[in-house]
A and B are shown apart, each in its own frame.
Chain A
Amino acid sequence: MILKKIFEKLKPTFSKGGKLGMFSSTFEAFESFVFVPDTVAKRKGSHVHDCIDSKRTMSVVIIALMPAMLFGMWNAGYQHFLSTGEAVSFIDTFFYGFLKVLPLIVVSYVVGLAIEFASAQIRGHEVNEGYLVTGMLIPLIMPVDVPLWILTLAVIFAVVIGKEIFGGTGMNIWNPALLARAFVFFAYPSKISGDKIWIAGLENAQSVADGFSGATPLSYAAANEIDKLPDTVNMFLGIMPGSIGETSTVAILLGAAVLIFTGIASWKIMVSTAVGALFVGFLANTFGGTPYLEMPAWQHLLMGGFAFGAVFMATDPVTSSQTEAGKWIYGFLIGVVAIVIRLFNPGFPEGMMMAILLMNTFAPLIDHCVVQSNVKKRLKRKSVI
């Protein structure tokens, strides 16, 4: 137990009043990372506690993100070599993508955690574990070639404006990871739209393989070129251009299975989001008009960031609806809004980000209505004598 001794030795220095007392939150974060604290139940209250904690919860979400991340790394390499027309081994493909994605993840964590630690310290709070998930989500919803300085700005924006000014973890209104993407989307539109940005190295490429465009399925669809969409199997597997983690529906569904099985994310939100999307999709199919409107509704679920958004973004427990009835409404409306934006908005090919951020904004209102109906029921209840 050398570790234990080290921590015990350092503790007085880092406690309030100690020489390095200003880093007490940081110390607590590291100590509780290594050791589960020896805190025991109070004299009155529950004397036993479930062994789940915030660290465990976040770890499970990270595990659920692994398939999407690993596939994203491979796909980044695959799409790159597809664009150059080179034929390389599986290992090389993955390794290329790995080297492209890793810096994004590192930058996201280093910048984000630095702000989290600093603000926890300023407030005198503990460091919350929420950023462990946000920090992984942010790179996965970026195009692979996003410059690191833009990513840095996006992370700063997301953590400071998205979270800390509201009071930190648990108090934020919008999903911080999506805010990071929204920041890039509006501040640097050229870096997150168009056909060239989704493939590593394509923008500055010397030569491009014949017939390769780099366009995502959504941009084909928005241009009503439905015949150019990848086949369903490839879309389902995720072998297509797109943000790093969003392309593979299979990998995302694996993550969804982990989240639903462990009960950490709400299956109600995932299901109702899909139902909302299909609802608008079928309406569009029914009335038709353009090839995009007539595209089978279920294909929407495979394209763009829909699956990733529904599984990992919409279900964020802090920014989603908190009531069970509210979750159905919230998810359904996300699906509806996302597809409406896709189909009817000429400006943005993808609607998932907007839809989730919009419904994040309305989630408290939905909850208010649900809770209010409970309150009314209570008031109306007649006394039985």
Chain B
Amino acid sequence: MLKVIKLKRGLDIKLKGEPEKIFGAAEKPVKYALKPTDFIGITPKLVVQEGDRVKVGSPLFFDKNKPEIKFVSPVSGTVSAVNRGEKRKLLSIVVTSDASDDYIKHDVGDFEKMSREQIINIILESGTFPFFIQRPYGIIANPADTPKAIFVSCFDSSPLAVDYDFAMQYDAEYLKKGISVLTKLTNGNVNLGISKKMLNSTIFNTEFLDAKNVVITAFSGKHPSGNVGVQISRVNPVNKGDTVWTVKLQHVVMLGKLFEKGIYDASKVVVLAGSRIERPCYFRVLAGAPVSIFANQIKRESEKENRIISGSVLSGVQISEDDYLGFYDDQICIIPEGNYNELFGWANPLRINKFSMSRSYFSWIMPDKKYDLDTNYNGSERAFIMNGQYEKVLPMDIYPVYLLKAIIAGDIDKMEQLGIYEVIEEDLALCEFVCTSKINVQEILRSGINIMIKEMNG
């Protein structure tokens, strides 16, 4: 019997510029990039130089601390730039595609007959191991660990997100294969979280996905019900000493392709969305594609600046127009910058174009209105004064304010006791959104996680 978990807490922020369910045609990019900055906690060590020829799947760099984890090129061509920042920090490796699709072929055979070790080796060699993110900490998993379970969220509840039911329609078989591969990597279950709305889906229905050691759980409720962290906390929470692995849905498909075709096929579906897009819709691109291919889709006005975000508006990263799609992201959102002063904004009784969860404004009158939100803080940073606010948008058994205060105080024992192993930035993103005091919740949380990593490894 399928278990349906109802999450009462959360918040759906309705934004203008939701993607239409069609695939758009973008120009075929010439340059692709892999950005070491997308991978938290690794020390990249380059293996190529400018001018080197690479194939699809050729390593570009590896992690100095775990050399077996390789990061590979999504296309074949020539390494055309190695961009570095301050202190020679590696920012991106740009590969100019030769459009020849010259793949490195891996001998995958029949994975059903392989040992876990053999499968892990193929994954490591093919450069797909960075797909596996471990909880605690939200960093790339350790290939030497055997996770107690693997979690895949099959829906994204964040604003302007990909609807996988639509996006994955041609990839169902690979998805199934990818899931079977995952079952070989854990002694526990592979847990798939679907939304209640997907119960009638052709791809995500239980008959299709049902397999040995696969557990499907349906979630109903607002964002962040689609966050894998929230799903883990309801199904099989991370305790001290536990490790679970999470994989993004599109990466499961890529794993399926790897074990079907023996190649690293980096193609994925992304949405281009937000109020500053002419016609928001879906695109099929390769990982590491440049934003410039969407240049003609962006609305431009001289007095209005745009913010380009790789990832969701709640926890993505701002990128420039000549930058590239993030490794784990399947959203590019473009919204207006909010660098203006609003005269007596806080005293305006209506503020009709701004959204608030609180009923001190009137957003509650129009629950279906879509907003054109910008990046303004709508206030200035203040001391923690409100209480009970974060809890309303966090469907986890955690006291977020206490956790944050423990982090600020640098109290490692408290952080551990209060559940820092269970959360990463995206889980607390809504807390940051609703915060009256404009506290940078996600930044504080990451600093706490970094303290924990240091403590545990040192």
Contact A57 B399 (CB under 8 A): no
Q: Residues of A contacting B333 with CB < 8 Å?
A: 47
Query: In this assembly, does A22 line the interface, its C-beta being within 8 Å of a C-beta of chain B?
Result: no
Q: Residues of B contacting A381 with CB < 8 Å?
A: 237, 239
Query: In this assembly, does A16 line the interface, its C-beta being within 8 Å of a C-beta of chain B?
Result: no
- Additional 9 contacts, C-beta under 8 A, given A40-B307, A43-B318: A32-B379, A35-B343, A46-B432, A48-B335, A51-B379, A52-B357, A54-B379, A128-B383, A128-B385
Partner of A371, one of B236, B341, B385, B402: B402
Chain B, range 326-384, C-beta contacts under 8 Å to A: 333, 335, 337-347, 351, 354-361, 373-384
Query: In this assembly, does B56 line the interface, its C-beta being within 8 Å of a C-beta of chain A?
Result: no
Query: In this assembly, does B433 line the interface, its C-beta being within 8 Å of a C-beta of chain A?
Result: yes
Query: In this assembly, does B417 line the interface, its C-beta being within 8 Å of a C-beta of chain A?
Result: yes
Chain A interfacial positions (CB closer than 8 Å to B): 3-4, 28, 32, 34-57, 59-60, 126, 128-130, 168-171, 261-264, 266, 317-318, 320, 322-324, 327, 371, 374-375, 377-379, 381, 383-385
Roughly how many angstroms separate A35 CA and B340 CA in the complex, as a whole number? 9
Partner of B379, one of A53, A261, A264: A53
Contact B387 A49 (CB under 8 A): no
Contact B359 A48 (CB under 8 A): no
Q: Residues of B contacting A32 with CB < 8 Å?
A: 379-380
Roughly how many angstroms separate A324 CA and B432 CA in the complex, as a whole number? 20
Q: Residues of A contacting B435 with CB < 8 Å?
A: 49-50
Contact A263 B359 (CB under 8 A): yes
Q: Residues of B contacting A51 with CB < 8 Å?
A: 345, 351, 354-356, 361, 378-379
Roughly how many angstroms separate A256 CA and B245 CA in the complex, as a whole number? 47
Partner of B359, one of A41, A170, A261, A320: A261
Chain B interfacial positions (CB closer than 8 Å to A): 13, 15, 148-149, 187-188, 236-237, 239-240, 242, 307, 309, 313-318, 333, 335, 337-347, 351, 354-361, 373-388, 391, 397-399, 401-402, 417-419, 425, 429, 432-438, 440-443
Contact B345 A128 (CB under 8 A): no
Contact B433 A126 (CB under 8 A): no
Contact B356 A317 (CB under 8 A): no
Residue of A at shortest CB range from B346?
A55
Contact B346 A374 (CB under 8 A): no
Q: Residues of B contacting A42 with CB < 8 Å?
A: 440, 443
- 3 smallest beta-carbon distances between A and B, as pairs: A53-B379, A170-B383, A51-B354
Contact A383 B148 (CB under 8 A): yes
Chosen A-B contacts, 16 in total, with CB atoms closer than 8 Å, are A36-B346, A36-B378, A41-B375, A41-B377, A43-B318, A44-B316, A47-B316, A50-B357, A52-B361, A54-B385, A320-B387, A322-B402, A323-B399, A379-B240, A381-B237, A384-B188
Q: Residues of B contacting A46 with CB < 8 Å?
A: 313-315, 429, 432-433, 441-442
Contact B360 A60 (CB under 8 A): yes
Contact A40 B317 (CB under 8 A): no
Contact A39 B376 (CB under 8 A): yes
Roughly how many angstroms separate A44 CA and B441 CA in the complex, as a whole number? 11
Partner of B313, one of A48, A54, A168: A48
Residue of B at shortest CB range from A125?
B383
Roughly how many angstroms separate A50 CA and B383 CA in the complex, as a whole number? 17
Q: Residues of B contacting A384 with CB < 8 Å?
A: 188, 236
Residue of B at shortest CB range from A367?
B402
Roughly how many angstroms separate A320 CA and B386 CA in the complex, as a whole number? 10
Roughly how many angstroms separate A282 CA and B433 CA in the complex, as a whole number? 45
Roughly how many angstroms separate A122 CA and B179 CA in the complex, as a whole number? 60
Roughly how many angstroms separate A261 CA and B362 CA in the complex, as a whole number? 11
Looking at the assembled complex, report how far the CB atom of B146 sits from the nearest CB atom of chain A, in whole angstroms.
11
Looking at the assembled complex, report how far the CB atom of B119 sits from the nearest CB atom of chain A, in whole angstroms.
20
Contact B432 A45 (CB under 8 A): yes
Q: Residues of A contacting B373 with CB < 8 Å?
A: 48
Residue of A at shortest CB range from B386?
A317
Contact B388 A38 (CB under 8 A): no
Residue of B at shortest CB range from A372?
B417
Q: Residues of B contacting A126 with CB < 8 Å?
A: 380-382
Looking at the assembled complex, report how far the CB atom of B187 sits from the nearest CB atom of chain A, in whole angstroms.
6
Roughly how many angstroms separate A170 CA and B401 CA in the complex, as a whole number? 13
Contact B313 A47 (CB under 8 A): yes
Looking at the assembled complex, report how far the CB atom of A320 sits from the nearest CB atom of chain B, in whole angstroms.
7
Contact A36 B341 (CB under 8 A): yes
Assuming A54-B379, A371-B402, is B417 touching A317 (CB within 8 A)? no
Roughly how many angstroms separate A126 CA and B391 CA in the complex, as a whole number? 26
Q: Residues of A contacting B345 with CB < 8 Å?
A: 35-36, 51
Assuming A34-B343, A37-B377, A371-B402, is B188 touching A50 (CB within 8 A)? no
Partner of A129, one of B344, B382, B402: B382
Looking at the assembled complex, report how far the CB atom of B348 sits from the nearest CB atom of chain A, in whole angstroms.
9
Roughly how many angstroms separate A108 CA and B388 CA in the complex, as a whole number? 29
Roughly how many angstroms separate A51 CA and B344 CA in the complex, as a whole number? 12
Looking at the assembled complex, report how far the CB atom of B441 sits from the nearest CB atom of chain A, in whole angstroms.
8
Contact A40 B343 (CB under 8 A): no
Looking at the assembled complex, report how far the CB atom of B38 sits from the nearest CB atom of chain A, in whole angstroms.
11
Assuming A36-B376, A59-B347, A126-B380, is B436 touching A262 (CB within 8 A)? no
Looking at the assembled complex, report how far the CB atom of B378 sits from the nearest CB atom of chain A, in whole angstroms.
4
**Residue picked from A34, A53, A324, most chain B C-beta under 10 Å:** A53
Contact A371 B360 (CB under 8 A): no
Looking at the assembled complex, report how far the CB atom of A363 sits from the nearest CB atom of chain B, in whole angstroms.
10
Assuming A48-B314, A126-B382, is B239 touching A383 (CB within 8 A)? yes
Q: Residues of B contacting A4 with CB < 8 Å?
A: 341
Contact A34 B344 (CB under 8 A): yes
Q: Residues of B contacting A383 with CB < 8 Å?
A: 148, 239, 242
